[in-house]
Structure 1
Amino acid sequence: MTGFLPSVEGFAKGTLATVATLSTVGVGLLYYGQNYLIYPSAFPPGSRTEVPVPTDFGIPYQPLDLRTEDDVQLRCYLLPQRQDLSVTNPEAAVLPTEYENDDEFIASRPTVIMFHGNGGNHGHRIPIAKVFFMKMRCNVLMLSYRGYGLSDGSPSERGLQIDSQTALDYILADPNFSRSPLARFLTDAFDILYGQSIGGAVAIDLASRNPTKINALIIENTFTSLPSVIPHALPLLARVSFLCHQKWDSASKIPLIPATTPILMLSGAKDEIVPKEHMRTLWEAVAKRGEKKTPGGKEYKTGLERAKFMEFEDGAHNDTCAQTGYWTAVADFVASLARDEEIEKETSSSPQ
């Protein structure tokens, strides 16, 4: 897995911390033009026209055009698994191939929906998708938000909420992806939401609105809310942070996610954009999910049963994914979902 880290690190160090540009604008622009600043899809230059494709990195894929409920075309990437992948590509992990066809194999693997940060486009995150696809042998849907890359429309909080729901609905409706054996309680849903920075806020929001359809979340360097991060990232605008109408209030949405939903939280201790305290506060909310009281009044917590928090000492906002131990933690988390499902199956099939 470490062989993938140089390409991941190269991407991470090249990503612009575009939120900092807010400090150069006036209060009026903060309110009326904040969508252009919060969602800088044109940066780095060329991001709206030059979008890398998975085959540039040796990954087979399918172009996926999704049409949203408000008639916006999203041009995404779908990376479905293949049984012969380890034969045709030596980088791929070797798995048993006892399935009759690729459709059955796809249905046997986890599906990751990726939500990227606010700068660049989804093509810049292909090295990250490659780890999920090659090393963990997951199916991957790389969402391209509206107004990003080659997708139509203009980004906004409401717009990205619609985009993420569209991606989830596609996975749940597909006969292969929806048959995953890891589906809990015999439902037709299995998906892992992976979000970085504002993408983590998108993932948390989607999970809060679909509490019975999301199986797990992986969240990296996400804020409690956008207004609350302004005083740190943009001290000059601290007094007018109330003008930020793009809320992404993750702190209030985590309690809506069931305590049984596994969550992995990955935080960079040297994050220069989102203070590490934001991730710690979100972790506290995760830990309190499902908090109950015994008849005697003593509280006990269930939210920690399937959740984990990791802080990387040298991780900055854009290179935490390149830190030692990051991908091992992610791989262990994904593997644990399969183990838990096997235990549930055995328990449910045991004679009472």
Structure 2
Amino acid sequence: MSNLLPTIESFAKGTVATAAGLGTVGVGLLFFGQNYLIYPSAFPPGSRTEVPVPTDFDLPYQDLTLNTPDGVKLRCYLLTQRKELSNHGAKHIPSSEEETDEQFAARRPTILMFHGNGGNVGHRIPLAKVFYVRLRCNVLMLSYRGYGLSEGNPSEKAGIRIDAQCALDHVLSHEYLSQTPIILYGQSIGGAVAIDLASRNPHAIRALILENTFLSLPRLVPSAMPVLGPFAFLCHQKWDSASKVTSIPAETPMLLLSGVQDEVVPREHMQELWQLVQKRVPRRQRDLHAEEGSDGLKDESIKNPGAGAAKYSRFVEFNAGMHNDTCVQQGYWSAISEFLDSLESIPPIPPAKA
């Protein structure tokens, strides 16, 4: 895997912090121009026109165009697994001669990648390469609207939430990827996108991997833009992960990866998210609660599920990790590899009761 790290390090140095551009103007811009501050898709310069492709990194891929329900075209990358990979360092997965590439891909995990708020999807290809080559996962790299070569303008409710659902729906309707365990990987604001999507599709998501994400954007404003902290209530782009993460059943494993030295998202955000992850309620207990009603709850563990409800989840901190270089810290990819391997022995989330 060492040959992959130089390209990842280049990625880390070249990406943009989640709060890039915040703190430059006043209260009026916070309210009226916050979309431009929160989603600096044109930064660094050239990000809307110069988008690297996977073949630049010796990766086979499909140039995938997704059409959202509101008529926006998203230019994404889809990397599906093959039995044999020529890339040096590719993990060996046993396969029979009769097995086709499609059948092989159908039994490997599928990663939906949700990137941070700066740059474009092409800047994250080094990360996709590790998932594809080292960990032998299928990878769908979503390019949000208004980013890279995708059409439209980014926003939360009328934008990126729709884009994420469109990407998931594509996998769920795919001929063979629909058979795979679907894992969401989100960095920074991409972590909020992943949490939101999983909260709306708990039956479809096998697991989440979240790196350096936040509790909500309004709660991030005081640290990202201290002078505007008192006016955080004006932030209409919420991405309220704190309220949504607990609606994801405890049977859905989560891996939280936190850079202790994160200069954009304070460490406390990831620590508090981890506390909330541990308070999630198992699906079985949710069903009991629904049957009995809030006043007739039989199972006391739903009131205080404790760490047992998150026994399949993990929280890993990297002492030297900053916002954009946590992914190159020692132990980062081994933590992800171990987490993915552990999913094979964890029972999937039970279906909702009819």
Q: For residues 300 and 335 of structure 2, what CA distance do their matches in structure 1 show?
A: 37
Q: Residue 3 of structure 1: CA displacement?
A: 2.9
TM-score (norm 1): 0.91
1:112 and 2:115 correspond: no
Q: Residue 333 of structure 2 corresponds to which residue in structure 1? A: 327
1:234 and 2:240 correspond: no
Q: Residue 174 of structure 1 corresponds to which residue in structure 2? A: 174
The question of whether the paired residues in 2 share the 8 Å contact of 1:294 and 1:300 is answered with no
The question of whether the paired residues in 1 share the 8 Å contact of 2:281 and 2:302 is answered with no
Alignment of 1:162-311 (within 5 A): 162-180=162-180, 190-290=181-281, 299-301=304-306, 302-311=308-317
Q: Residue 138 of structure 1 corresponds to which residue in structure 2? A: 137
The residue identity in structure 1 corresponding to 2:239 is W
Q: For residues 251 and 261 of structure 1, what CA distance do their matches in structure 2 show?
A: 16
Q: For residues 329 and 264 of structure 1, what CA distance do their matches in structure 2 show?
A: 9
Q: Residue 48 of structure 1: CA displacement?
A: 0.1
Q: For residues 179 and 301 of structure 2, what CA distance do their matches in structure 1 show?
A: 43
Q: Would the alpha carbon gap of residues 83 and 35 (structure 1) be closer, same or farther in structure 2, given more than 3 Å must change?
A: same
Q: Residue 152 of structure 2 corresponds to which residue in structure 1? A: 153
The residue identity in structure 2 corresponding to 1:222 is T
Q: Residue 204 of structure 1: CA displacement?
A: 0.2
Q: Residue 337 of structure 1 corresponds to which residue in structure 2? A: 343
Q: Residue 16 of structure 1: CA displacement?
A: 2.4
Q: For residues 9 and 33 of structure 1, what CA distance do their matches in structure 2 show?
A: 32
Q: For residues 145 and 329 of structure 1, what CA distance do their matches in structure 2 show?
A: 27
Q: In terms of mean alpha carbon deviation, does 2-11 or 209-218 score higher?
A: 2-11
Q: Residue 46 of structure 2 corresponds to which residue in structure 1? A: 46
3-state SS of the aligned residue for 1:303? helix
Q: Residue 294 of structure 1: CA displacement?
A: 5.9
3-state SS of the aligned residue for 1:96? coil
Q: In terms of mean alpha carbon deviation, does 285-294 or 202-211 score higher?
A: 285-294
- CA displacement, residues 207-234 of structure 1 (integer Å, 9 cap, x when unaligned): 0000111100000000000010110111
Q: Would the alpha carbon gap of residues 268 and 18 (structure 1) be closer, same or farther in structure 2, given more than 3 Å must change?
A: closer
Segments of 5+ residues of structure 1 without an aligned counterpart are 181-189, 345-352
Q: Residue 2 of structure 1: CA displacement?
A: 3.2
Q: Residue 200 of structure 1: CA displacement?
A: 0.1
Q: For residues 150 and 333 of structure 2, what CA distance do their matches in structure 1 show?
A: 29
Q: For residues 106 and 17 of structure 1, what CA distance do their matches in structure 2 show?
A: 34
Q: For residues 46 and 146 of structure 1, what CA distance do their matches in structure 2 show?
A: 16
Alignment of 1:23-102 (within 5 A): 23-85=23-85, 88-98=86-96, 99-102=98-101
3-state SS of the aligned residue for 1:19? coil
Q: For residues 304 and 57 of structure 1, what CA distance do their matches in structure 2 show?
A: 37
The residue identity in structure 1 corresponding to 2:323 is H
- CA displacement, residues 94-152 of structure 1 (integer Å, 9 cap, x when unaligned): 21121521110110110000000000001000000000000010000000000000000
- Percent of residue pairs bearing the same amino acid type: 62
Q: For residues 205 and 303 of structure 2, what CA distance do their matches in structure 1 show?
A: 30
RMSD: 1.7
Q: Residue 175 of structure 1: CA displacement?
A: 1.8
Q: Would the alpha carbon gap of residues 151 and 287 (structure 1) be closer, same or farther in structure 2, given more than 3 Å must change?
A: same
3-state SS of the aligned residue for 2:49? coil
Q: Would the alpha carbon gap of residues 9 and 297 (structure 1) be closer, same or farther in structure 2, given more than 3 Å must change?
A: closer
The question of whether the paired residues in 2 share the 8 Å contact of 1:223 and 1:274 is answered with yes
- CA displacement, residues 35-55 of structure 1 (integer Å, 9 cap, x when unaligned): 011000000100000000000
Q: Residue 9 of structure 1: CA displacement?
A: 1.6
The question of whether the paired residues in 2 share the 8 Å contact of 1:20 and 1:234 is answered with no
The question of whether the paired residues in 2 share the 8 Å contact of 1:12 and 1:318 is answered with yes
The residue identity in structure 2 corresponding to 1:208 is S
- CA displacement, residues 231-275 of structure 1 (integer Å, 9 cap, x when unaligned): 011111111111110000000001110000000000000000000
